[in-house]
Amino acid sequence: MVETRNIVFICALFFVISSINGEDPYRFFTWKITYGDIYPMGVKQQGILINGQFPGPQINCVTNDNLIISVYNYLNEPFLLSWNGLQHRRNSWQDGTYGTTCPIPPGKNFTYMLQAKDQIGSYFYFPSLGLHKAAGGYGGIKIYSRPHIPVPFPFPAGDHTVLAGDWYKKSHQRLRHILDMGRSISNPDGLVINGRGWNGYTFDVEQGKTYRFRISNVGLTTSINFRIQGHTMKLVEVEGSHTLQNTYTSLDLHLGQSASVLVTADQPLKDYYVVVSSRFTTRVLMTTAILHYKNSKTGVSGPPPGGPTTQIAWSLMQARTMRYFLRMHIFFIHVILTYIHLWIRWNLTASGPRPNPQGSYHYGMIKPSRTIILSNSAPWINGKQRYAVNGVSFVAGDTPLKLADYFNIGGVFSVGSIPDKSSDGEAYLKTSVMHADFRSFAEIVFQNWEDSVQSWHIDGYSFFVVGMDGGQWTSASRSRYNLRDTVARSTVQVYPKAWTAIYIALDNVGMWNIRSENWVRQYLGQQFYLRVYSPAHSWRDELPIPKNALLCGRAKALNINVQMAPFPHPPPKPSYYDGGRKRKGRAICALDAKTGFDQFASVFENHDDVGGPFFPTAAIK
């Protein structure tokens, strides 16, 4: 026993020394989730705050950092956080969707253990349950490159986060009730920038200096356009990919998307409008923030600069007949998508999270082994409005799918409950899960026959957007794919009566959510889970269930002690590898024995000097 403790102590000591040397450091956060009064539209509303803040605290980290986030739920309903764009390599347990993680009950806490493994870029976190996102609870994530990794632009003088999106004056409970009754929640009441309405937020700059703006569309239902009065923007990064650095006067961001631009404060000394407006809406919504030059004595003047929304919406509404509308619509989409396809491209020579150039991964030379065509629809089922993928409208099971899969609990879901292609039958409700083989390479086509822009996100992955066009996708559409330098990202738009095609390397084992980023559509069924499966059951492919995992549904009824829960099959004999490269240091200490991880973690459970409560889930005192 004494010898075991000595071994654990040595591992812990090595952990501390490794952290001092800068190898994969740990960053600790303690977040208290509460209700509080907010005024985004100028009237008091009940919002969801994190440590009293809306938006929530910014997460600043570096590639490969470990993020230990203890979340205390002071709400009167279950709560979960998800991490839009973080890939959670080998660790879908931390994804924070109901398919992977039990909600944190009221009065309880849970500690997320994340790693920004092999990632850089701009992302955000948000509450994933019960339309909580409509009440706030979101915040920004910045993942910086490691010091020795070159970045394809000079270090900016400042780094601003812009969390923009639509907003409803109705509470999230009221919105949820309306949707549960099968009715529409109508249009949003306005737009917000960093939780504020008209001119409610200020970005400070100094004349002559260049700043990075990380913009995310955190809204529920609306695409947006971003622009800064009198200034141009150089696009440098999209969801972890360095892009060719083209200059824009305005930039579209669809639901769930994030991008980084460089803005040089090269205008006369005064204040300027930062403008966000809605796209593809019949009633144009707009809000502004202030770009404030240091020492400026002159406020903003004149009307905010107009954006592209009015012209596009007007042209679409002028269609006289459906046939004419469809023909003109497809032509319009073809022109626009060709333009976008040419201009948002991968910077092949820039480094990503690793020293080697992004372009060293030749995605276009890999032949997909499978084609999946996902068609969205808006059926009525049992007299209520629903949304579906390939005719299947998702309903949550009584147990998170990942737990049901891990503990082999039958009757929660069945693999293959959603087809690879749409059928002509009537839509139906199902807990839909699609199978995929680990390390396969797939082509996924998002086909949109509806009149609204769709936005799709895949948890756990970054994918290559190889093609977009109007009309119906066919095998002949592949001749127009960009197989050289298309951007890699985790969220992509699909225009009305159009399609978008992606290539994706399924190299991350787990249960992963594929969903609409329109949160009304997601809530009413436009989502499913992709079970990426490895028969090896190896810790090299997937981490075991966390020792602090919450149990709910039928998993709770099993009365299993998670700390003693076995791996479904015995793990391979010890040696910790990552991507074929043997790692030195604390990971070997932690994983060299079946109980090593638990022993290693227990070192920190009773020590306040490492960031407070680490693993245990207990009632909040």
pLDDT at 584 over 50: no
303 and 372 within one domain? no
* CA-CA-CA-CA torsion sign (314, 317, 320, 324): positive
Per the domain annotation, does 36 fall within a domain?
no
Confidence tier at 1 by pLDDT (50, 70, 90): very low
Give the pLDDT mean for 30-56: 97
Looking at residue 457, which CATH number applies to its domain? 2.60.40.420
pLDDT at 560 over 60: yes
Give the pLDDT mean for 599-611: 29
370 and 300 within one domain? no
Which residue, 533, 562, 583, sits at the end of a domain?
A: 533
CA atoms within 13 A on the CB side of 528: 29
pLDDT at 565 over 80: no
**Which element (helix H / strand E) includes 355?**
none
The pLDDT score that the predictor gives to residue 65 is 97
The pLDDT score that the predictor gives to residue 561 is 67
pLDDT 10s digits, 335-388: 454 444 445 899 999 999 999 999 999 999 999 999 999 999 999 999 999 999
B/e letters for 281-318, b = 16+ CB within 10 Å, e = fewer, are beeebbbbbbbbbeebeeebeeebbebebeebbeebee
The pLDDT score that the predictor gives to residue 153 is 96
The CA–CA distances, whole Å, from 553 to 399, 409, 526, 544 equal: 5, 10, 23, 20
Per the domain annotation, does 238 fall within a domain?
yes
pLDDT 10s digits, 415-464: 999 999 998 889 999 999 999 999 999 999 999 999 999 999 999 999 99
Per the domain annotation, does 245 fall within a domain?
yes
Least confident segment among 40-44, 157-161, 218-222, 593-597: 593-597
List, in order, residues 6 or more apart from 186 with CB less than 8 Å away. none
Determine contact, residues 617/606, Cβ cutoff 8 Å. Answer: no
398 and 527 within one domain? yes
Give the pLDDT mean for 391-404: 97
Helix/strand/coil (H/E/C) assignment for every residue in 453-522: CEEEEECCCCEEEEEEEECCCCHHHHHHCCCCCECEECEEEECCCEEEEEEEEECCCEEEEEEECCHHHH
387 and 253 within one domain? no
pLDDT 10s digits, 283-299: 999 999 999 999 999 99
Give the pLDDT mean for 23-38: 95
Q: Which residue has the higher pLDDT, 584 or 162?
A: 162
Determine contact, residues 382/427, Cβ cutoff 8 Å. Answer: no
Nearest to 164 by CA among 203, 194, 198: 194
394 and 287 within one domain? no
The pLDDT score that the predictor gives to residue 619 is 36
pLDDT 10s digits, 185-212: 989 999 999 999 999 999 999 999 999 9
Nearest to 372 by CA among 447, 480, 439, 433: 447
Per the domain annotation, does 278 fall within a domain?
yes
367 and 293 within one domain? no
* CA-CA-CA-CA torsion sign (361, 362, 364, 368): negative
The pLDDT score that the predictor gives to residue 323 is 33
3-class secondary-structure state, position 587: helix
The pair of three-digit structure tokens given for residue 121, joined into one six-digit string: 């870029």
The pLDDT score that the predictor gives to residue 449 is 96
Looking at the 3D structure of the chain, how many domains does it have? 2
422 and 276 within one domain? no
The pLDDT score that the predictor gives to residue 376 is 98
How big is the CA angle at 132 (ends 128 and 137), to the nearest 5 degrees?
85
The pair of three-digit structure tokens given for residue 592, joined into one six-digit string: 């060299």
Give the pLDDT mean for 17-40: 82
B/e letters for 427-444, b = 16+ CB within 10 Å, e = fewer, are beebbbbbebebeebbbb
The C-alpha atoms of residue 112 and residue 116 are separated, in whole angstroms, by: 13
529 and 440 within one domain? yes
The C-alpha atoms of residue 449 and residue 456 are separated, in whole angstroms, by: 15
The pLDDT score that the predictor gives to residue 379 is 98
The pLDDT score that the predictor gives to residue 330 is 52
* Helical H segments across 156-308, by residue range: 172-180
Per the domain annotation, does 387 fall within a domain?
yes
How far is Cα of residue 211 from the mean position of the Cα atoms in its chain?
A: 24
Q: pTM to 2 decimals?
A: 0.85
The mean predicted confidence, pLDDT, of the chain is: 85
pLDDT at 309 over 80: no
The C-alpha atoms of residue 544 and residue 149 are separated, in whole angstroms, by: 31
190 and 302 within one domain? yes
Which residue, 289, 318, 347, sits at the end of a domain?
A: 318
pLDDT 10s digits, 531-559: 999 998 888 999 999 999 999 999 998 86
Per the domain annotation, does 82 fall within a domain?
no
398 and 272 within one domain? no
In this structure, what DSSP letter does residue 57 have? Answer: -
Which residue, 269, 288, 318, sits at the end of a domain?
A: 318
How many CB atoms within 10 Å of residue 82? 23
In this structure, what DSSP letter does residue 604 have? Answer: H
Determine contact, residues 408/338, Cβ cutoff 8 Å. Answer: no
Determine contact, residues 385/378, Cβ cutoff 8 Å. Answer: yes
pLDDT at 14 over 60: no
The pLDDT score that the predictor gives to residue 343 is 58
368 and 309 within one domain? no
178 and 303 within one domain? yes
Q: Which residue has the higher pLDDT, 611 or 523?
A: 523
List, in order, residues 6 or more apart from 431 with CB less than 8 Å away. 394, 395, 396, 397, 401, 412, 413, 417
Per the domain annotation, does 147 fall within a domain?
no
Per the domain annotation, does 5 fall within a domain?
no
pLDDT at 591 over 70: no
Residue 316 phi, psi (nearest 5): -70, -35
The C-alpha atoms of residue 237 and residue 110 are separated, in whole angstroms, by: 32
- Give the domain range for residue 165: 158-318
Q: Report the share of the chain in percent with pLDDT over 90.
A: 78
The pLDDT score that the predictor gives to residue 3 is 44
3-class secondary-structure state, position 423: coil
Which amino acid appears at position 223 of this protein? S
Q: Which residue has the higher pLDDT, 574 or 387?
A: 387
The pLDDT score that the predictor gives to residue 564 is 43
Report helix, strand and coil shares of the chain as percent, to nearest 5.
20, 35, 45
